[in-house]
Chains A and B, each alone.
Chain A
Amino acid sequence: MTTDVEYVGRLHGLDPERIHWEPRQYGGDGEKSLIALTPNLQSADLSIIASKVRLNARNSVKTWPVDRVLTAIDQTVARLLDRSHPVRKKMEHLLPIVTGYDEEMVRIGLTGYLKTFRKPQLQRFITEDFPNPGILDKFQPLVKGGFGRAFGPDLLAHVWAGNVPGLPLWTLIAGLLVKAASVGKVATAEPFFAGWFHDVLAETDPELAKTIALVWWQGGNTELEAGLFREADVALAYGGDTAIAALAAQAPASTRFLAHGHKISFGLIGREALDPSRASSTARKAAYDVVRYDQQGCYSPHVFFVEKGGAISPETFGTYIAQSLASYEEKFPRRPLSLAEASSLVEWRMAEETRLGGKVVEPCNGNWTVSIQLQDRALRPSGLNRTIRIVAVDDLEETPILSKPYKTLIQTAAISATPERLFNLASMLGEVGVTRVTALGDMTSPEAGWHHDGRFNLLDLVRITEIEARAETAAEDLASYAD
């Protein structure tokens, strides 16, 4: 048995000797396990940490050109992509223990994910929100006249949730790009990734790393949550509706509170993708989206609406997906489920099986489930953990989901159809709340610079200071060279 010990939290401004560290075990008994040492923090500690990183940012990143930040992130990510780097090795070794995900899936997932944060991608990320990135450094001429400059928050608070490895990177990097100091509360389900990123950033640009602090407490500690939000100009939170509502209640009116709630995603598969030469590869891509992180992502599919009238029927297509899931199971086994997860999956499967026109396909070990529904066309969630609903529809354009506004509940839709239908369906989907349309097989890897939940990742964080054209003119009058 090998047991590693890792500290959770990066507490700039506090003396680690003074902190009481409590152990928390990850991984099963008898297998490989990991002890996390978590800090026991008080509200006053948060104020000290916040002041320290705020000061550090004021003395460093706030005075730098954004290009220096890009370079530092790029070099950090390059090290994390290098499989011989000690921190990368640690990630590959420990993340499967912490999250239960298959080692190979974590390794491939890390590389695929990290490479979306290299310099060219980061430039695209910035340009999405700031066509002239110089606006983050200096006043830049505005189209309407005058000049403008974007100022990031003095302190950005993050509350991360869930076990999808790497999730904190999105908002951590967004914070760095707008030159904010950050205090991030890591998730109990995966509390390590953000710290490891911090450590490698400290190798490439120590001053920049000192603008990021990481903290932890058991979720629901309203005193600490309120303490964190009081210090922040902008707060970003992930979680389910209940958790988000509870967090929002702790944020003062002066703190801009931005939330990413839990979401449902799905796919639309047209009859043109269901001819004999294409159907198996369509099914393989669809299954891949299901397998990636066992559907725990907001972009993970719960349902594929499959059109009737193709050479391959929706029912047969369901069996193709079943075959693909079976072969992925060989390659990337599903993570072990808790009793509660397994038990709720049994309940979900029973409900699917007893629906009129419903049929369930699965292996004896129950490691994946395909529910084929020929009559029930409603949008219903999957049971998660490699369970997918295949819903037969006469025409994609008639899919019931298109007629009901789901507003904040839905996120990504994968479309497999002709170009004309892609645009037509996308506008219908946009109207009911979909914020991202992508290809099958790409659902779980959003592009660099995507608008997460339809929002502006960077613009939402900053405030713009404008010099109006009239101020410029008035100043001209006072110039030494004025007549």
Chain B
Amino acid sequence: MDEAEVVSKLLTFIENKNAVEADFDQMALSIFAYQFEHNLPFKKFCLARGKTPKTVRHWADIPAVPISAFKTLDLTCSSPTSAEATFMTSGTTQGGKRGKSYHPTLAVYNASMRQNFLERFMGNREKLKIGILFPPPVAMPNSSLAHYLELAKQYFGSEGSSHFVRSNGIDYERLFHSLEDAEENGVSYGLLGASFSFVHVLDEMERQGRRFQLPPGSRLLDTGGFKGQSRELELDTFYDALQNAFGVSRANCINMYGMTELSTQFYDNGNAVCPSVKSGPHWIKTRVVDPLTGSSLPKGTTGVLAHTDLAHFNIVTTILTEDAGVEVDEGFMLHGRVSGAEAQGCSMAVDEFLISAAAN
């Protein structure tokens, strides 16, 4: 298969809502063979584990690449220089090294986003007035989240939809004016952005003594959580505050879980109850695994999440995350990050060594 063929098959597969497990399996194995052939660092990774297209018989046997490898390896089937977009992680860990995902074309990413977003956030309605609490792609060309939110605005935003974050921060005045306008005219509103941006907005609203009662059909979408931010909120506190501040019930506050290392997002069906259950569309599957062996754990056991995202065709479909989770009916629940282990005894762990060695 060549790239054009993979792209065309994927676009068809994404549209095929009647696809069953066997179709997924077949598609996953053919993309695995494509990546094994064209992505040399991935081929080396597979061979070291004795995995080849001949020995891998089921999608769950595709070896999961730890996301840390995205920082050190150029995982791509096509030349990085001809990529339409390169998405990078924020580089807050590992000495500022950033994980990279090269996209020779965004056609698949965009189709994946569009269909999934329509179903899970829009509730199959066509347009909403959309406000975005995140910088636009021109300000952050390597951010997959900036691109994702821009797509939401382009595909589903009615007139007057806008970004409210600029280089100097959140433009509260314009944001509040836009929300007031929707409130007065009875226009359903979709406010989307990073979880911590919502916290800033909540703080500012409290400071100004403001509250909104957004019209029926309005919804909120937050993503990213609070790790590493100046303030960490309990999920229940956060969604209560959102409901109270915007007049949008917790059932219509959707959390999106996505990663730079994927081309597909997961959503919950609102946060009336936390933690919510996340799930994805038919072209992505998640296993809860033992990170050391990669083997699936029994349902109900906490492990590390491994995702197989067919839409991430140019890099690797199957990644091993650093997120803990548990499989439940209808999807999985997130249990936070698992990184940052400390030594149990008086020996030194890797992270500690890096800090101490730098100080020495």
Contacts and interface: CB of A to CB of B under 8 A. Distances in A.
Interface of A: 99, 161-164, 167, 189, 238-241, 260, 262-265, 293, 295-298, 300, 302, 337-348, 350-351, 353-354, 360, 364-367, 380-381, 383-384, 405-409
B342 A264 contact: no
A123 B351 CA distance: 40
Contacts of B360: 405-409
B340 A381 contact: no
Nearest to A238: B346
B292 A381 contact: no
A340 B345 contact: no
A240 B350 CA distance: 12
Contacts of A239: 346
Given A350-B69, A364-B293, A164 B350 contact: no
A351 B355 CA distance: 17
A300 B292 contact: no
Contacts of B339: 340, 343-344, 347
A360 B293 contact: no
Contact of B69 (A163, A189, A354, A367): A354
B290 interface: yes
B106 interface: no
A340 B293 contact: no
A343 B291 contact: yes
Contacts, number: 138
Given A338-B341, A340-B338, A347 B356 contact: no
Given A350-B68, A365-B292, A409-B360, A339 B338 contact: yes
Given A346-B66, A351-B72, A366 B346 contact: no
23 contacts: A163-B345, A240-B343, A241-B355, A241-B356, A262-B356, A264-B347, A293-B345, A295-B347, A296-B345, A302-B348, A340-B339, A342-B290, A342-B292, A343-B339, A344-B349, A347-B339, A350-B66, A351-B68, A353-B48, A367-B292, A380-B353, A384-B349, A409-B356
B242 interface: no
B73 interface: yes
B357 interface: yes
A384 B343 contact: yes
* Chain A CB within 10 A, most for which of B302, B343, B355: B343
* Chain B CB within 10 A, most for which of A297, A339, A353, A365: A339
Contacts of A345: 291-292, 341
Interface in B38-78: 41, 45, 48, 66, 68-69, 72-73
Nearest 7 A/B pairs, CB to CB? A296-B345, A366-B292, A162-B345, A340-B341, A298-B346, A344-B341, A262-B348
- Chain B's interface size range is 35 or more
A353 B63 CA distance: 15
B350 A381 contact: yes
Contacts of B348: 240, 262-264, 302, 381, 409
Nearest to A165: B345
B233 to A, nearest CB: 22
Given A162-B344, A260-B346, A262-B343, A241 B338 contact: no
Given A162-B346, A381-B350, A384-B347, A340 B68 contact: no
B346 A263 contact: yes
Contact of B353 (A161, A341, A381, A407): A381
A260 B345 CA distance: 12
B21 interface: no
A383 B320 CA distance: 18
Nearest to B70: A350
A475 to B, nearest CB: 49
B346 A360 contact: no
B15 interface: no
Contact of B350 (A161, A298, A365, A383): A383
B304 interface: yes
Given A241-B352, A241-B359, 15 more contacts: A167-B345, A238-B346, A240-B342, A262-B346, A262-B352, A263-B347, A265-B347, A344-B351, A346-B66, A346-B68, A364-B293, A383-B350, A384-B343, A409-B353, A409-B360
B25 interface: no
Contacts of B353: 264, 380-381, 409
A431 to B, nearest CB: 15
B303 interface: yes
B183 interface: no
B345 A346 contact: no
Interface string B287-325: 000111100000000111000000000000000101010
A162 B346 CA distance: 6
Contacts of A353: 45, 48
A25 to B, nearest CB: 17
Contacts of B338: 339-340, 343
A346 B320 CA distance: 9
A339 B347 contact: no
A5 B151 CA distance: 59
B347 A298 contact: yes
Contacts of B345: 162-164, 167, 293, 296-298, 300
* Chain A CB within 10 A, most for which of B290, B342, B359: B342
B359 to A, nearest CB: 8
Contacts of A351: 68, 72
* Chain A CB within 10 A, most for which of B293, B322, B349, B351: B349
A347 B339 CA distance: 9
B350 A296 contact: no
A338 B349 CA distance: 14
* Chain A CB within 10 A, most for which of B66, B345, B356: B345
Contacts of A163: 344-345
A264 B349 CA distance: 9
A169 to B, nearest CB: 14
Contacts of B291: 339, 342-343, 345-346
B341 A262 contact: no
Contacts of A340: 338-341
Given A167-B346, A262-B347, A293-B345, A366 B69 contact: no
A360 B73 contact: no
Contacts of B68: 346-347, 350-351
A238 B68 CA distance: 31
Contacts of A341: 341
* Chain B CB within 10 A, most for which of A163, A239, A346, A351: A346
Contacts of B352: 240-241, 262
A381 B349 contact: yes
A49 B73 CA distance: 58
Contacts of B324: 339
A46 B41 CA distance: 59
A163 B343 CA distance: 9
